[in-house]
Amino acid sequence: MSNAKSILVTGANKGIGYGIARSLLTQSPPGSTVYLTSRDPTRGEKAASSLIQRPEGNESHTTIGEEVGGTGGTKLVYHQLDTEDLESIDKMMEYVKKQQGGKLDVLINNASVALDPPGSMGAGKKNVPGLEEAEKMININYYGTLNMWKAFLPLIPPQGRVVNVSSVACHLKNFSSPSLVSEITSPSLDIPKLTALVESYLTLLRAGIDPSTHGWPNNCYSVTKAAVTALTAILAREHPDKLINSCCPGWVDTDMGSKASGAGKRPPKSIDEGARIPVRLAVGDAQNVSGAFWENKSISDKGYGMVSVW
């Protein structure tokens, strides 16, 4: 019986998403299909082509969609996907449904943006995000993840997996309000309540109020990643037949990772090293854990992750 998996990675034309897709080509069970997706089709097709042409790995069995075909190994398929666009998400879902006989084994929600000022994630740093930037981050990071889940839930089988790429920025120590922490970690939290919390953050911004004076983190990126991590716990509680986890890939040498320091310091991890935890949770030994946040002991650590109290 084949153990081949169908796996979809969002935001995979560069950075950690690209590293995840590249790692999956050699670490997925033989016969698997990896869907590399991106908002920009030109960049996405270029990324997919570069993976096929790699001199190392399993390139003889990686093909873009149905252009070349292929038997055995792992097949690479590119498809355009904008997680901020419900119509685009629905088109992607229908495509996978048709290609995979109504099933998607693994969904990796990686697409994300960080539009806070560079270096705004450090302790004691305070940067009130602009409303437009905050709305963009929440739309992609939180609602994009939520809407991908809603669309693909009917396709994910029992024991199927969902990996939500979060961040160390989600840590609850970034909240100064004990009541907010209590709400976001409550076992009774559900999606409507979580969404209401996220919208309350935007309500403060729209009123010209600095949300950090009401206990929120100093930057919006942290808010979105805390929401994604809380969403993961909710989904795992509501769907115990699936393995649903979130993780921090660490401080990775990407465009986003370089912005985090604000001092021009180069992040210590390659994209392949940053892909280790997400890929483990997608196709490796997840220890039958669901609803957890995984990370290494430090953001520079190049290990394969462990369950952490976020």
Residues tagged active-site: 221
Question: How many of the other CB atoms lie within 10 Å of CB of 177?
Answer: 13
Compute the Cα dihedral for 129, 130, 133, 136 and give only its sign. positive
Compute the distance between CA of residue 246 and CA of residue 229 in angstroms, rounded to an integer: 6
Compute the distance between CA of residue 190 and CA of residue 217 in angstroms, rounded to an integer: 21
In a 10 Å sphere around its CB, with 0-12 CB exposed, 13-18 middle and 19+ buried, how is residue 193 labelled? middle
Compute the distance between CA of residue 220 and CA of residue 218 in angstroms, rounded to an integer: 7
> What amino acid occupies position 287?
Q
Q: 52 with 74: CB under 8 angstroms?
A: no
Question: How many of the other CB atoms lie within 10 Å of CB of 2?
Answer: 8
Residue with tokens 């729209």: 206
29 to each of 4, 73, 113, 152, 290, how far by Cα in Å?
5, 8, 30, 21, 21
Dig out the tokens for 165 from the structure.
């790429």
DSSP conformation letters of 239-287: -TTSEEEEE---SBSSHHHHHHHSS-PPPSB-HHHHTHHHHHHHHS--T
Q: 178 with 186: CB under 8 angstroms?
A: no
